[in-house]
């Protein structure tokens, strides 16, 4: 996120001596993207950040995907993935279950009640949407308080851990990129400022406000990274001292929170296409959200989406609040995912097209991911699938 912030103690000039009260030096770390040519931050550590005392293999949870073949729309009921009391022993990192994925993005879901291990995703940025619950994300940059409706953006290789609140489970929809995730380019000036036509601005973004200093020795950190053949691999590092030893940092690269309620919807006289609802983008995919809003006000408008063949994309919709008018009658509800693949014309359920005429307001909440390469189905997707969804437009199941 390309606007500058400074937290804690930093020297007046970069790459110069920054001394501790006892006269010793703090250790400066540059965390930067795209080989020193894009956003970066400088972090000042008490201990050498490169020092590791051990390394071993970490077996990453099942990342296998199978083709959506035969090609068909799918409905996944994510709330069925975790039993009623199972969440209390689940953490928001190792407990994730892969739902959908391809070479650009992986979508997982987790219901967590226990603190996670320290974790670093070296494959790409993460955008984690909080469906419900509260918690804290402790990071090397400082802590973020999170709750329902928050997008949590975690830059690649940010060491962090998730600490759920104690009153209810933390339900998290995890979008993991193989690239960086940022606001849509058309919302940004050539210098990176969010423009007047953007549906949110810098005031809506919340980053860490003070360093998070922790003590400890022989501290484990789980790292997800690339394998030799491009597969997802994992390593468990042991650090001699706690990685959360940063006394200050500054720059334009850091984790932040954006709440979906701060997205100002763009509406029009006739139906607005999904790009009007975009919030973030990564390489090979975009993230949009559909929020409560006034809808089309042309006297002959049809507020629900028209039937469409988005020939270049697979469309994934996560329904996380309200009533989604276009899907009434299909069994879709809170915690559902619909997958509508490229090559299949999709749109409202039977009757929704006609029922929407005259409606002035949609009370719906959904997070959409559109990908530009086909998505495969992970073990969590198969485990939560509603097998009858593909036939709901026709009103009958196949004869075979």
pLDDT score at 144: 98
Check residue 303 and give its pLDDT. 87
Any idea what DSSP says for residue 184? Answer: -
CA distances from 89 to 124, 163, 323, 368 (A): 27, 12, 31, 29
DSSP, collapsed to helix, strand or coil, labels residue 391 as helix
3-state SS class at 203: helix
DSSP 275: G
Beta-sheet strand order (sheet of 40-45): 5-8, 246-251, 40-45, 27-32
Distance CA 131, CA 100 (A): 18
Which region holds residue 225: left if phi is over 0, alpha if psi is between -120 and 50, else beta? beta
CA distances from 36 to 41, 121, 219, 259 (A): 11, 19, 29, 30
**If we measure between CA atoms, which residue out of 175, 106, 173, 108 comes closest to residue 319?**
173
What is the rounded CA–CA span in Å between residue 206 and residue 262? Answer: 12
- Contact partners, residue 286, CB within 8 Å, separation at least 6: 184, 275, 278, 280, 369, 370
Low-confidence stretches of the chain (pLDDT < 70) are: 1-2, 325-326, 328-329, 400
Q: What is the C-alpha to C-alpha distance for residues 362 and 304, in angstroms, rounded to an integer?
A: 9
Q: How far is CA 118 from CA 97, 107, 219, in A?
A: 18, 20, 9
- Residue of 275, 278, 290 lying closest to 365 (CA atoms): 290
Counting Cβ atoms within 10 Å, is residue 249 exposed (0-12), middle (13-18) or buried (19+)? Answer: buried
CA-CA distance, 41 to 5, in Å (whole number)?
9
Residue 59 CA to residue 346 CA, distance in Å, equals 38
8 Å CB contact between 350 and 396: no
């Amino acid at each position: 996120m390309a606007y500058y912030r400074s937290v804690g103690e930093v020297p007046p000039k970069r790459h110069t001596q920054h001394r501790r009260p006892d006269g010793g030096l703090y250790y400066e770390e540059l965390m930067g993207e795209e080989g020193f040519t894009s956003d970066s931050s400088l972090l000042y550590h008490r201990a050498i950040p490169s020092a590791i005392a051990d390394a071993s293999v970490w077996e990453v949870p099942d990342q296998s995907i199978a083709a959506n073949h035969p090609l068909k729309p799918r409905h996944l009921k994510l709330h069925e993935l975790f039993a009623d009391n199972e969440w209390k022993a689940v953490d928001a990192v190792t407990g994730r279950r892969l739902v959908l994925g391809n070479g650009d993005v992986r979508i997982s879901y987790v219901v967590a009640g226990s603190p996670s291990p320290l974790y670093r995703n070296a494959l790409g940025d993460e955008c984690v949407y909080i469906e419900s619950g509260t918690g804290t994300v402790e990071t090397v940059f400082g802590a973020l308080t999170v709750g329902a409706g928050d997008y949590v953006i975690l830059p690649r290789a940010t060491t962090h851990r998730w600490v759920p609140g104690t009153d209810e489970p933390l339900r998290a929809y995890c979008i993991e990129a193989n690239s960086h995730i940022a606001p849509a380019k058309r919302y940004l000036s050539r210098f990176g400022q969010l423009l007047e036509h953007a549906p949110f601005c810098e005031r809506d973004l919340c980053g860490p406000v003070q360093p998070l200093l922790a003590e400890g020795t022989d501290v484990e950190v789980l790292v997800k990274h690339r394998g030799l053949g491009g597969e997802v691999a994992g390593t468990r590092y042991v650090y001699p001292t706690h990685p959360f030893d940063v006394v200050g940092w500054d720059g334009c690269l850091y984790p932040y929170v954006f709440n979906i309620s701060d997205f100002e919807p763009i509406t029009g006289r006739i139906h607005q296409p999904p790009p009007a609802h975009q919030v973030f983008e990564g390489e090979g995919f975009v993230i949009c959200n559909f929020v409560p809003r006034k809808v089309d006000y042309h006297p002959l408008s049809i507020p629900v989406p028209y039937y469409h063949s988005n020939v270049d994309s697979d469309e994934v919709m996560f329904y996380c609040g309200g009533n989604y008018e276009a899907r009434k009658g299909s069994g879709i509800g809170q915690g559902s995912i619909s997958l509508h693949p490229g090559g299949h014309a999709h749109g409202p359920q039977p009757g929704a097209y006609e029922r929407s005429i005259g409606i002035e307001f949609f009370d719906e909440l959904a997070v959409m991911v559109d990908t530009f390469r086909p998505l495969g189905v992970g073990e969590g997707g198969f485990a939560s699938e509603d097998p009858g969804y593909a036939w709901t437009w026709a009103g009958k199941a196949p004869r075979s």
